[in-house]
Structure 1
Amino acid sequence: MFKLFNNKRLFILLITLVTFIVLMGFSLGQRKTLSWPENFLRDTTGFVQKLFYKPAGYVAGFFQDIGTLNELAEENKQLKILAAQYARDKAQYNFIKAKNEQYEIDLKFTNAQKNLYKYEYHIANVVSVTTEPGNNTLVLDLGAKDGIRLNMSVTSVEGLVGVISNVSNFTSTVKLMTMMDIKDPNSQPPIAATAVNKEGKTFGMIESYDQQTGMLLMNKIPVDDPIAKDDIVISSGIGGRYPRGMTIGTVKEVKIGQFGLTSTAIIKPAAGFQDWKELFVVFTEERVE
């Protein structure tokens, strides 16, 4: 009885082993299709993975987008700062460039004048301008401490502007040529003048400024004087008040006087008498300190 039972168990075990080997061989062999249990298991696993992985991907992408937005915001902030700095640097560059160009003009002018008459030109900034009728003056930021003295001539790059009429320690007042009036004893003193390339042949006195026409009047010119239209009028240096060779203006017209003994030249000033930022105080040799 026990022997038969043992033989059954051995037989079942053998059958099971053979079936397992067959199934293993079937599974390991090359197949074009999967069995339905394998398909079911694979589909179920893929569906479950999709349920979990897709929302997880959305969440991860959401936080990644937030991080990207923060980075873009910071980059945008830095770009705005750089744009503001560029605008400031550009304005500063333009300002420095303009100042350098003006200094080059000033240097060229002073060197040319020095070589011509050996004067010294001290650059002064215009502090204020007064344009009241009968009081056309301006104030410079140079004073007695800088060697400024009364009656020193003041010029722009274009031409003579006026003379120093008042001096304090740190500033000085310039009386403009537009205040020149032979009838007013307080106006700027007359200027002994001649013409370029006609020195020694041309002579006259610039005594007044016509407020209506904006022209200077050069009087006491001899009738046979060669002065003519378009001549450049300069100071002659006679009398010692004004340095020799200061540009005054251009002759526009020459008129014969009432009695035919002298002529009057109508002169357009070289200086513009407006919008000055810098001027030059002329130091002659006897005034240089």
Structure 2
Amino acid sequence: MLTLFKLLGNKRLFILMLGLILFIALMGFSLGSRGKLTWAEKFVHDTSSFVQQLFYRPTAAVSAFFENVSNLSETYEENERLKVANAHYIRDKAEYNRVKADNERYKKLLEFTEHQKAQNRPYEYRIAQVTGLNVADPFNQSLNINLGSKNGVQKGMPVIAVEGVVGIISHVSEFSSSVQLLTNIDEKSRAIAVTVQGKENKSFGMIESYDHSNNTFLMTRIEENDPLEEGDVIVSSGLGGKFPAGLIIGKVIKRQVGDIGLTHTATIEPAATYQDWRELFVVIPPNTGNSSQENGQ
């Protein structure tokens, strides 16, 4: 008993023993079968919940922040991939449209050459790439092509598009040529003998000038009894040796009596559009190309 009092005299040991007794008592109450919590258990439960809440909220916020950063990074990377994919799509679509347009042009060129062969005309149609267009002076327009004397091209040869006549070779170099557009024709130029398609033996006239304000040709020297009428297609007659027969010039949109009254004139809408050319044909008469190439060599 004396020993117990001595132990109680030691404050630290006394407090430790008291705490142990209280802990055992609390454990006993907790393990017991009861429907309600004691005030001590409630206090411990509330205290631990509060402490957990203090730690949980900052931890959850930090976790959510890093999760959002990760999601943002993934979204950015996905946007970059979509941008690259979209750029590739735009590039591929543009390339597809270009190839499709080229194929359409080449198809028309092939159909044109096949049609010319079917006409049994003794001319060669050599395709040329347009390399330049000189349009600074509307009354003296010309273009450049990538065919020259090495290819059998000579001055004065007609140059045509699929739609109709474009102009005449005006200057020839070894590997390129200049083409004077038919829209430059005037009273100083050499007129072109023409006729009506399907009425070649009954109709005749001359293309002598071009009206830049209305974008039309003037056909003159038409006889009063000539069967030419609105809607007729005007083609080269082959007379005079400047143009082969059958090259399309345009369509009649109006016929009127000439200034003197003895003959008639006609307003002709050009068949060629005179814009955005990429490929044209040089019309080469029989044997001319071969002899020219031999001389060039």
Alpha-carbon separation, structure 1, partners of 2:213 and 2:39: 114
Aligned partner of 1:143 in structure 2 is 148
Task: State the 1:254 CA deviation.
Answer: 4.2
> Residue 258 of structure 1: which of 237, 248, 260 is its match?
260
Greater mean deviation of Cα atoms: 236-245 or 205-214: 205-214
> Residue 67 of structure 1: which of 47, 70, 91 is its match?
70
Greater mean deviation of Cα atoms: 104-113 or 170-179: 104-113
Task: State the 1:77 CA deviation.
Answer: 2.9
SS at match of 1:56: helix
The answer to whether the 8 A contact 1:154-1:280 is kept is yes
Alpha-carbon separation, structure 1, partners of 2:203 and 2:241: 18
CA deviations on 1:223-262 (whole Å, 9 max, x unpaired) are 43322232211112234431221101122214357373x4
CA deviations on 1:85-116 (whole Å, 9 max, x unpaired) are 44444444433333333333333333323322
Task: State the 1:176 CA deviation.
Answer: 1.8
The answer to whether the 8 A contact 2:129-2:279 is kept is yes
CA deviations on 1:144-201 (whole Å, 9 max, x unpaired) are 333322222111232211111111123211112222234x2xx3x3322211111222
Greater mean deviation of Cα atoms: 52-61 or 86-95: 86-95
2:257 is matched by which residue type in structure 1? K
The answer to whether the 8 A contact 2:255-2:264 is kept is no
Q: 1:59 to 1:257 in 2, by over 3 A?
A: closer
The answer to whether the 8 A contact 2:156-2:168 is kept is yes
Alpha-carbon separation, structure 2, partners of 1:44 and 1:24: 17
Alpha-carbon separation, structure 2, partners of 1:96 and 1:178: 31
The answer to whether the 8 A contact 1:215-1:269 is kept is yes
SS at match of 1:102: helix
SS at match of 2:77: helix
The reply to whether residue 115 of structure 1 matches residue 118 of structure 2 is: yes
Alpha-carbon separation, structure 1, partners of 2:44 and 2:265: 121
Q: 1:207 to 1:279 in 2, by over 3 A?
A: same
Alpha-carbon separation, structure 1, partners of 2:259 and 2:136: 32
2:66 is matched by which residue type in structure 1? F
Aligned partner of 2:97 in structure 1 is 94
The answer to whether the 8 A contact 1:232-1:247 is kept is yes
1:192 is matched by which residue type in structure 2? A
Aligned partner of 2:14 in structure 1 is none
The answer to whether the 8 A contact 1:120-1:288 is kept is no
Alpha-carbon separation, structure 2, partners of 1:49 and 1:213: 91
Alpha-carbon separation, structure 1, partners of 2:38 and 2:139: 117
CA RMSD of aligned residues (A): 3.2
The reply to whether residue 153 of structure 1 matches residue 163 of structure 2 is: no
Alpha-carbon separation, structure 2, partners of 1:164 and 1:282: 10
Alpha-carbon separation, structure 2, partners of 1:27 and 1:56: 31
1:67 is matched by which residue type in structure 2? S
SS at match of 2:239: coil
> Residue 104 of structure 1: which of 102, 107, 122 is its match?
107
Unaligned residue ranges in structure 2 (runs of 5+): 1-25, 291-297
Greater mean deviation of Cα atoms: 65-74 or 154-163: 65-74
SS at match of 2:119: helix
Q: 1:212 to 1:179 in 2, by over 3 A?
A: same
The answer to whether the 8 A contact 2:169-2:179 is kept is yes
Unaligned residue ranges in structure 1 (runs of 5+): 1-22
SS at match of 1:194: strand
Aligned partner of 2:178 in structure 1 is 173
1:144 is matched by which residue type in structure 2? S
Output aligned runs, 1:267-278, within 5 Å: 267-278=268-279
Aligned partner of 1:8 in structure 2 is none
Q: 1:24 to 1:83 in 2, by over 3 A?
A: closer
SS at match of 2:180: strand
The reply to whether residue 163 of structure 1 matches residue 168 of structure 2 is: yes
Q: 1:37 to 1:131 in 2, by over 3 A?
A: closer
Q: 1:225 to 1:192 in 2, by over 3 A?
A: same
Q: 1:263 to 1:64 in 2, by over 3 A?
A: closer
Q: 1:216 to 1:49 in 2, by over 3 A?
A: closer
Alpha-carbon separation, structure 2, partners of 1:100 and 1:25: 95
